[in-house]
């Protein structure tokens, strides 16, 4: 699989001749109000819409928060043939958005894309943060890829591992924290990302969602330290914005 990291939760995945973009964020650094809160983007996106180019589909964890879908990201969705997201997200977005329930699958070129459960915060968080989804990508002769989306639950990762043998885990990490839930992490902490890697047995782990926004509380140094401490440093593929890797 080829992967190009743009920053934040956004990356271009190339697998089995299919091009997929995760959670499009292209806006310039600055403030993004969310109700009474403000999320602050701190870095430019390495990829522009033009650099991302033509994709077969967007894999959208959720549409409710600007650190996963910002203004230019929303405009970008109008140019793509398919956006896979939660059913509630598809109802809000319209256009080419298609909602998938957990464990529901669809075909995108040579890939089968299966929606998998995710929880954006501690137990019960969905009442406040809303529905989110992850994805598993499978295809004949291809590595199985798990894209976690904004998931903070290792228990849900265990459910996914019981159904799929994952080769590559693309984990939204960063331990995102806001005033919600007394600052409890809304995405995987670095320790939880290590545990998720162990549970999945993934040969390679590519973190996203760990830099570029002010509410990401654990950056690349913490991720690297925790994976090395756990003896899994050789599995970690930690990319700089704009960097491409063949995994």
pLDDT digit string, tens, across residues 187-212: 999 999 999 999 999 999 999 999 99
Tokens of 200: 């999945």
Taking the model in full, what pTM does it have?
0.95
Cα–Cα distance list, 193 to 34, 41, 145, 201 (Å): 26, 23, 15, 12
Percentage of the chain exceeding pLDDT 70? 95
Per the prediction, the chain carries an average pLDDT of: 94
pLDDT at 103: 98
The pLDDT tens digits for 60-107 are 999 988 899 999 999 999 999 999 999 999 999 999 999 999 999 999
Q: Which residues contact 48 (CB under 8 A, 6 or more apart)?
A: 26
Alpha helix stretches (DSSP H) within the chain:
49-52, 71-77, 87-93, 126-129, 154-163, 190-200, 220-229
Least confident interval from 41-45, 119-123, 132-136: 119-123
Q: What is the dihedral of CA 172, 49, 85, 211, to 10 degrees?
A: 20
The pLDDT tens digits for 11-60 are 999 999 999 999 999 999 999 887 777 889 999 999 999 999 999 999 99
Cα–Cα distance list, 115 to 33, 62, 63, 127 (Å): 29, 12, 15, 20
Pair 96, 77: CB distance under 8 Å: yes
Percentage of the chain exceeding pLDDT 90? 85
């Amino acid at each position: 699989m080829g992967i190009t990291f743009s920053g934040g939760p956004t990356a271009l995945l190339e697998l089995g001749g299919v091009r997929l973009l995760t959670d499009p964020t292209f806006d310039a650094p600055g403030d993004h109000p969310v109700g009474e809160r403000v999320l602050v983007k701190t870095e430019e996106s390495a990829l522009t819409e033009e650099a991302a180019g033509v994709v077969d589909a967007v894999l959208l964890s959720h549409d409710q928060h600007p650190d996963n879908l910002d203004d230019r990201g929303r405009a970008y969705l109008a140019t793509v043939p398919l956006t896979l997201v939660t059913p509630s997200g598809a109802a809000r977005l319209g256009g080419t958005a298609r909602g998938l329930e957990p464990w529901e699958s669809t075909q995108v070129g040579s890939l089968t894309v299966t929606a998998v459960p995710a929880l954006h915060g501690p137990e019960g968080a969905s009442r406040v943060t809303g529905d989110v989804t992850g994805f598993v990508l499978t295809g004949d002769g291809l590595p199985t890829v798990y894209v976690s989306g904004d998931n903070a639950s290792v228990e849900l990762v265990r459910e996914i591992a019981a159904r799929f043998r994952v080769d590559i885990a693309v984990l939204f990490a960063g331990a995102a924290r806001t005033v919600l839930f007394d600052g409890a992490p809304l995405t995987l902490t670095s320790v939880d990302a290590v545990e998720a890697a162990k549970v999945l047995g993934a040969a390679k782990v590519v973190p996203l969602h760990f830099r570029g926004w002010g509410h990401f509380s654990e950056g690349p140094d913490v991720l690297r330290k925790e994976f090395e401490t756990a003896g899994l440093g050789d599995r970690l593929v930690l990319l700089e914005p704009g960097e491409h890797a063949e995994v």
